[in-house]
Amino acid sequence: MRVEIWSDIACPWCYVGKARFEKALAAFPHRDGVEVVHRSFELDPGRAKDDIQPVLTMLSKKYGMSEAQARAGEHNLREQAGAEGLAYRAEGRDHGNTFDMHRLLHLAKEEGRQSELLQAFYRANFAEERSVYADADEYLVELAVAAGLEEGAVRGVLADSDAYADAVRADEREAAELGANGVPFFVLDRTYGVSGAQSAEVFERALTQAWGDRPAPLKVVAAGGAEACGPDGCAVPQQP
């Protein structure tokens, strides 16, 4: 069974939702049969790379709230994250463009290190003092190398703005086609969708239902002993 998760590194509920989903998956009896793929979704795709501002300022402008309200929301998120064992800085974070991080996540997917790099980006963005936006290229290289990627390949992607750009855009188009207008958005076997950072219990139920509704595996009632064609050609009839 495949679970696809659309998310953005700038999304705090994606950070929390990933932890809750992984808690549910760890308890799922068939977890070894579940493939998890992370998909790209930018919450602020039109933001210029050099347009960086404090999170509290961004929240106040975007949602028309006071800075005190924005701060209270961030402190609530810190409590929610803490309940999942996640570190979260409620003060002093900034906000910016995440496109390069998504491009690197597609590189990491090819190398089998996608989940590790995503978690490294989340922790850097939500828990560390150093900014993933203001010191973007060098910090992203450090994080990617620590997650198991080759430094030259990482620098090559960052130097080429077209590298994996189509893959990121394709993920975002697919999200729109599936009706996802927010993240995190979980799609189980292209049959069930779960929106938002639900509880681990909700994810457990969704996994159980999706697993139970999979098509029954093909049962082979006869195998071998009869002529057939395959990649190496066809069996040649022998004279009796």
> Is residue 218's pLDDT more than 80?
no
Instruction: Provide the pLDDT for residue 228.
Output: 61
pTM value is: 0.88
Confidence bin at 137 (pLDDT 50/70/90): confident
Q: pLDDT tens digits for 105-126?
A: 999 999 999 999 999 999 999 9
Question: Sign of the C-alpha dihedral, residues 127, 141, 184, 186?
Answer: negative
- What number of other Cβ atoms are within 10 A of residue 56's Cβ? 23
> Is residue 223's pLDDT more than 60?
no
The distance of Cα 188 from the centroid of its chain, to the nearest Å, equals: 14
Q: Which of 30-34, 131-135, 164-168, 173-177 has the lowest mean pLDDT?
A: 131-135
**Residues paired with 37 in a beta bridge:** 4
Angstrom distance (rounded) from CA 17 to CA 183: 9
Q: What are phi and psi of 3, to 5 degrees?
A: -115, 120
Instruction: Provide the pLDDT for residue 225.
Output: 58
Q: pLDDT tens digits for 147-187?
A: 999 999 999 999 999 999 999 999 999 999 999 989 999 99
Q: What DSSP string describes 39-87?
A: EE--SSTT--TT--EEHHHHHHHHHT--HHHHHHHHHHHHHHHHHTT--
Instruction: Provide the pLDDT for residue 240.
Output: 54
